[in-house]
Amino acid sequence: MDKQKKKGEVFQLSCPCCHSLLWIDPVMEKVMQFEKQAKPKGSLEDLLLKEKRKKQEFERKFEATAELEKKRREKAQNRFKKALTQVKTED
């Protein structure tokens, strides 16, 4: 790095987080220029596969929620019937 500082050559590197290109002046110790990189776009097949997985996950969650609601409804009906029979036996 000292050799580069002595020469004063601007060097380029890629940010590990956002993948932007940075041009750095080692003499001034500043970023001289940066260029944001667009996210690499996937293929149409990748997009379709991703959407298919989303749909399957949504359907799975919907079915689980519907099953849970059905169990709650049955439980409430059983409690109601039990309470109704208790009221009838008390009379």
As a three-state string, the secondary structure of 13-63 is: EECCCCCCEEEEECCCCEEEEEECCCCCCCCHHHHHHHHHHHHHHHHHHHH
Distance of CA 52 to the CA centre of its chain: 16
Pull the structure tokens for residue 68. 């849970």
Strand partners, 56: none
Q: What is the pTM of this model?
A: 0.45
- 58-73 average pLDDT score: 97
Q: Which amino acid is at 88?
A: K
Instruction: Give the tens place of pLDDT for each residue, 26-55.
Output: 888 888 887 887 777 778 899 999 999 999
